[in-house]
Structure 1
Amino acid sequence: MSKVYTHMTMSLDGFIADPQDGIDELFDWYNAGSVSVPTADERWSFSLDEASAELMRDVLAKAGALVCGRRLFDITNGWDDSHPGGAPVVVVTHHTPDDADRWPKTSFADDVESGIARAKELAGDKDISIASADIARQALDLGLVDEVDVSLVPVLMGEGIPYFANLGAAPHRFEDPVVIPGVRATHLRYPVKRD
């Protein structure tokens, strides 16, 4: 059964990037092992420990669509219309780029609900991943998220961009996590608790 989940690599103090969108302190785990995990785009691959590699292979195999915000889309230049996960991308934005035809495999949506709906259409029976903190926050508040995943890395950043901030419908409650210990990251999967 498909699910909508959000996944971020996060510091121990809750940040997914530094104040300038830097991720250098966080992404060491993507190259901390000897197990090669290729992606759908030959420009990128990971060198992971066995537990992290198994997790990443599972994520890549089940990838049906990715939802992100305009900020991440712009920072990555839309992954040149070829996200490493191999899934189509849906960008939630108030302003579709004037040159949107540069990304023929990318869809644009006006709000989080329509973005998730479009991602479900594209994904079929595969999973939908939310890859932007603000989109994840909004989707969680709207009750659209089935699971929150965190790759927790051993660093304290002190400041930066938080994974979740300004939640409008908090508290959100979760089931006990699935814990996957890795090298340079502990992976936590929290199913959303449904009342």
Structure 2
Amino acid sequence: MGTVIMHNVVSVDGYIADQNDDVGSLHEWYFSGDTPISPHDDEQGYDHSATGTPFKVSRTSADYVRPMWASIGTIVMGRRLFDLVNGWEGQPPAGEHVVVVSHRPKPEGWHPGASYHFVDNAPAAIAIAQDLAGDRTIAVNAGNVGSQILAAGLVDEVAMDVAPVIFGSGKRFFDGIHEQQLLEDPHVVIQGDRVLHLRFRVRR
């Protein structure tokens, strides 16, 4: 089965957005470099589909981000993020499949051909995601749903793109974690421009 990675861009003080779901300057590094990247391309090119703006990162970040995006088979997300981005209009930014943790079903008539699956609990979401991904990576969005999956012992790694931003309050990367969780020492530490890429294996 593929590795389950809880991932997000995060502020230095541990937030993935403010209280209004605004990411502020967290994603500045995606657009301030000199190396074009696209989630659906292995070397060069832009992805204009989601934002209308090309992703351009530092060469160092590109060498890290490209293979990570390419490894993803399934994304697991919460309903709030799904609603905010309208499910990326049925075209996930990486991978071919999306599993949405929600007590509400898929909106009626919404992109019927898209491989989006709605389930009402986090463990079931991971089981479906693993079936869909095969041996590819399952990328779990951080926040409430990601924290539920981490607390259930179903996350293999935590990946953080730490941006030099302080929010002070907002939506936490680890939202709702009430017990100590142990991670191994970081096995990836890469300094890009305006971002620090970190990856930790979860200690079993």
Deviation, 1:100, is 5.5
Deviation, 1:25, is 1.6
Q: Flag the 1:129–1:62 CA change in 2: closer, same or farther, 3 A.
A: same
Aligned to 1:50: 59
Aligned to 2:80: 71
Q: Is the 8 A contact 1:133 1:163 kept in 2?
A: yes
| Number of aligned residues | 193
> Does 2:157 match 1:147?
yes
Q: Is the 8 A contact 2:96 2:115 kept in 1?
A: no
> Does 2:191 match 1:181?
yes
Other structure's SS at 1:138 match: helix
Deviating 4+ runs (over 2 angstroms)? 39-42, 100-104
Q: Is the 8 A contact 1:69 1:132 kept in 2?
A: no
Deviation, 1:165, is 2.9
Deviation, 1:51, is 1.7
Say which is worse superposed, 77-86 or 97-106, in terms of deviation: 97-106
CA distances 1:105-143 after superposition (whole Å, capped 9, x unpaired) = 211111001101100011011000001411111011100
Identity value in percent: 38
Q: Residue type matched to 2:23 in 1?
A: I
Q: Flag the 1:140–1:118 CA change in 2: closer, same or farther, 3 A.
A: same
Q: Flag the 1:171–1:14 CA change in 2: closer, same or farther, 3 A.
A: same
Deviation, 1:43, is 1.4
Aligned to 2:119: 109
User: What is the 5 A alignment of 1:22-41?
Assistant: 22-40=22-40
Aligned to 1:4: 4
Gaps of 5+ in 2: 41-46
Question: What is the root-mean-square deviation in Å for CA atoms of aligned residues?
Answer: 1.5
Q: Residue type matched to 1:76 in 2?
A: V
Aligned to 1:191: 201
Deviation, 1:39, is 2.2
Q: Residue type matched to 1:24 in 2?
A: G
CA distance in 1, matches of 2:85, 2:148: 21
Aligned to 1:123: 133
Q: TM-score, normalised by structure 1?
A: 0.93
CA distance in 1, matches of 2:5, 2:203: 13
1:158 to 148, 159, 168: 168
Q: Residue type matched to 1:139 in 2?
A: I
Other structure's SS at 2:73 match: strand
CA distance in 2, matches of 1:77, 1:98: 10
Gaps of 5+ in 1: none
